[in-house]
Structure 1
Amino acid sequence: MTTTPAAPEAGTPEIPDFPAARSPKCPFAPSPDMRALSDHGPVTRVRSWGDSTPWAVTGHAEQKALLSDPRLSVEFTRPGFPSPVDPTHAHAGSTDLSFVGMDDPEHARLRRMVSGAFTIKRVEAMRPRVQKMTDDFIDTMLAGPKPADLVQALALPIPSLVISEMLGVPYEDHEFFQANSKSIVSAVASPQERQTAHTNLATYLDDLVGRKLSEPGDDLLSSLCTQIENGEITRRQAATMGVLLLLGGHETTANMISLGTLLLLQHHDQLALIRDTDDPAVIRTAVEELLRYLSIVHLGRRRTAMEDIEVAGHTIRAGDGVILLGELANRDPSVFPEPDRLDLTRNARQHQAFGAGAHHCVGQPLARMELQVIYPTLLRRIPTLRAVDDLDAIPFKYDAIIYGLHALPVTW
């Protein structure tokens, strides 16, 4: 089955290309061209990969409704799915990321096997350990040479160590899984490079699952081994779930740590709100605003309509691709007044940085807790922290599916 993109509706402007580049002058803001989409309403067409014209959803309310709509599918093999990479090579570079690419009920069945590890109660019990890690990595950075790369010294190792301990993955292998994860989330890697990286991680996790079947430990992969023995999942499924959790557990949080720190270094009044308080509620509120403002999933959440859906005066036809642009929903002025202003006292809990509906990020309690620990600890312990380079010299991840920084040289 193939689908033919519908022609633009009468009276609509020329269909813009997607994705569009961010402005180097405003690297923390969404692309100006994408911001302009909102001027034409909360739902509009964009052109992506040749003649493909999926729907782009920019409105907060519309996104929230669609993310919870079971008539939208996350399965990337469906005709019409708006691939984040060139679909002419989709199968050569496709990766199996477990339940993230599945619809219910299979999605829900597999997700339940790991969701218990990410409850707020379980995550809060880890807070002292994450605090100890943070202090240890800062000690090492302070004892080392200046300038230091905050990405390599702090932002990348802490979430990598946290998720390694949760899964039961040896942290000494972090360079291997970080390098392969980087290829998987690259927007410019070749299909073969992405496929090779995924195969490397899947093989690595499969070997590790095999060892834990013989010698289980007190970790999440060992818990999945119990599901294998009960016939609930296969060894391959356990390994691909491990790939998903290992990748998602460090890539996103690492980028939020470095990008959020750089943003705060540009807003000293806001930085002081975090540095000078010992009130956990203030820190929690500040972290939510940083998540809203930065929205590091910057190429959208992607779906395919399985049935016709009416939204904002438009009909999304069965087979149409849909791109839900969270970074624009998080700048919707009807929900967030003065959305381009960073305000760490703002109540931003309605943001969609973690998505919504059945596919909201399973690890969001962990990510929140890590950020609540790391930002204030770093800013209190190194109050003179500053970026070495101007913004235009800092390597932003314009070339990745997850936005962030390749490096952040800092001194103090």
Structure 2
Amino acid sequence: MKILIVGNGARESALGVKLKQDKRISKIFFAQGNATTDNLGQNYYESDIVSLRNLAIKENIDLTIVGPEAPLVNGIVDEFRKNDLQIFGATARAAKLEGSKAYSKKFMQDYNIKTAKARVFDAYHDAMDYVKDHSYPLVIKASGLAGGKGVVICEDVLEANSTIHKFMIDRIYGDAGIQLIIEEYLEGYEVSIIAFSNGKKLFPCIPAKDYKKAGNGEKGANTGGMGSAAPTPEWTAENQIDFEKNILEPTIVGLQNKHLNFRGFIFFGLMVTKDGCYLLEYNMRLGDPETQVLMALLENNLVDTIESCLKGEDIELKFSDKKALCLVMCSGGYPQNYETGFEIKGIEKVEHSTLLFAGAAQEAKKIVTTGGRVLSLVATADSFEEARKKVYADALPIHFDYAYYRQDIGEF
């Protein structure tokens, strides 16, 4: 078999490591890939949909798996299917549930999916008027794609005014912020649940925890993710029942009623409060860094599982009973401005974890930084404490200029 994986993060590295265990796979292409995928298969440096379609036809690719959101929103699945190419991911219509938070919020409201109260704003002055007399904190979200960073919890009206101005006037996330969602703040802890879709049903994985803030203790700016853990230790059987009844099942009804059937991944971003589970957002893909811990624990053969979903068959997911932890090492300044091009040293001393590059590439005989989230260290163990010791021991010898990482991943 030949596989194409679209994306260049640690998520795609984790998929590559998992797929490399399958002896039926003769070659894996990665578009655009990174320093890990360079050693797992062949990196392909074109990323537009037409080039990827042509690659899949030319190389007789048997299966394409899409990692990031932008190609899904832009219709890569639709284009591949037009050409009878097997691809696992959401169609453009289904991907709108991630591409437009305004659209997804209306979907949640229409199908009585448990979510925070919210209003959508298209006009700057209307949004500014709304936050004048609002109780705080409140949450302001850019409606479009903002790389996981377009959400701000505002503590007062000054921060709300500043956020609205940055999103709608300064356009810090481009067109993603020209429409806003302003919603009530929910107190609790976040959980990520990713499910496989076979076009009719959704099959959820074990819950994972994503550490979103740049600083220890969940302080600082939102990032794409500074680490993850699975299974989430706070999650209870009661939480699972609540999630299935009030979020998962009505989502399936909504997808069917709106004819948004797809075969791919769907991500539920949840807030667990004293009043139960609330849906914060949908992502129509695998999360990063959640994928790193889920792939480390998934016992199913990934290709078989995906092919069953593509055929519309039911699946039974099996996960190891171990604990998995992922620590993300970043470039100084991330998620704002940062420099790249620094050599990464000490990786040969990693002994206890799986090293998955993201924002890093091979140049001559060196590996250099190319992005904000540079690499992930993933370890499994019988306890989170033991997994923590592994990833932090392996982080110590790794060095690149301005490197930083959180010290509290795996502390709950």
Q: TM-score, normalised by structure 1?
A: 0.28
Higher relative strand content: 2
Higher relative contact order (CA 8 A, sep 6+): 1
Q: TM-score, normalised by structure 2?
A: 0.28
Higher relative helix content: 1
